Amino acid sequence: MRIAAVYLAVAVPFLLIDLVWLKVMGERMYRPILGDILLPKPNLWPAAVFYLVYPLGLIGFAVMPAYQDSSPIRALVMGLMFGFFTYATYDLTNQATLRNWTTMLTLTDVLWGSVLAACCSYCGYVVADRLLETP
């Protein structure tokens, strides 16, 4: 049950904060740049899989290593790096293959994903530090 709390401490803020970002920035940034390649409504199955799986990556690569070292800074840094590399992979691939994808969109989205991943990794670390047994 405690590891489920750590998962929720990462997954819930990740989902909620990202949904706010997408709601606010969708019409301001993504739709004007991407235009007609965006679906009128998102396909929810791939989105659901992403929001269920991505927190597992943060837990495995950032939260638990930081917890084992008793280092909240490591949670932030490793979360930032995980976010940077995963979002950069997505954004740079899109920029290389999609006509409408811009450098500004890549930079903004990679920065966003990096900060979001760092913050959510820190949330997971705090819960792990309080609920799990000392490493």
Burial letters 32-50, b for 16+ CB under 10 A, else e: eebeeeeeeeeeeeeeeee
Instruction: Say how far residue 124 (Cα) sits from the centre of its chain.
Output: 13
Q: Two tokens at 44?
A: 């929810």
pLDDT in tens, 51-86: 999 999 999 999 999 999 999 999 999 999 999 999
Which pLDDT score, from 0 to 100, does residue 1 have? 83
Contacts of 5 (CB under 8 A, 6+ apart): 127, 131
Task: Give me the mean pLDDT over the 5-23 stretch.
Answer: 98
Q: How confident is the model at residue 134 (pLDDT cuts 50, 70, 90)?
A: low
**So what's the pLDDT on residue 135?**
57
What tens digit of pLDDT does each residue of 108-132 get?
A: 999 999 999 999 999 999 999 999 9
Helix (H, G, I), strand (E, B) or coil at 64: helix
pLDDT digits (tens, 9 = 90+) for 84-102: 999 999 999 999 999 999 9
pTM of the model: 0.95
